[in-house]
Amino acid sequence: MLASFGLPKNITKKVNKEISSVFEISDFSTEMIIVSEDINTKLPTKIKPDNLFKVMDNTTIIGYFYVGKAPSKTDQFDYMVVFDKNLNVVKTKVLIYREDYGNEIGSKRWLKQFIGKTSSDSLKYGQDIDAISGATISANSMTFAMSSLLKTVAILKAKEAF
């Protein structure tokens, strides 16, 4: 299972559950992906020591995941993105949403729009990604966060940081 690596305990538990579910595996390990500062300064999404990980079954990489925060109307929400070993999105999940309104962005139906996306896909809120009435700020924020993350993954892949 995943060691917390600075992630809050409640987030670690949710991440472990999602990783187990996505990869249909109960015994796995994770390894932080460390990005040098000179590369990190050029990335759309900054990589910290506790937000981008490899998922491994013994010594075989089976995928990756990212845990981040995005702004909502008055606060932030925590989300995770799970990638397969080819860096295609296989799952997105809102882990903690802290607002009274806009929690529709956590629905499986809305989040499934991101499945299969890669760095070559366009992600524009209201065009490529459906808008949500009553959750405009959060949904737009999630779409922007995903777009930035996919661009970051493409840069890191090109620089062989994975």
- The answer to whether 54 and 30 are in contact (CB under 8 A) is yes
Place of tokens 């990604």: 129
Which residues have CB under 8 Å from 160's CB, separation 6+?
none
Q: What is the pLDDT of residue 4?
A: 46
Q: What is the pLDDT of residue 7?
A: 78
Tens of pLDDT, residues 11-34: 999 999 999 999 999 999 999 999
Distances (CA, A) of 156 to 40, 90, 143: 9, 18, 20
Q: What is the largest CA-CA distance in the chain?
A: 45
pTM over the 0.75 mark: yes
- The answer to whether 159 and 153 are in contact (CB under 8 A) is no
* Closest to 151 measured CA to CA, from 48, 52, 37, 44: 44
When pLDDT is cut at 50, 70 and 90, the band that residue 68 belongs to is very high
Torsion-angle region of 150 (φ positive above 0: left; ψ -120 to 50: alpha; else: beta): alpha
When pLDDT is cut at 50, 70 and 90, the band that residue 119 belongs to is confident
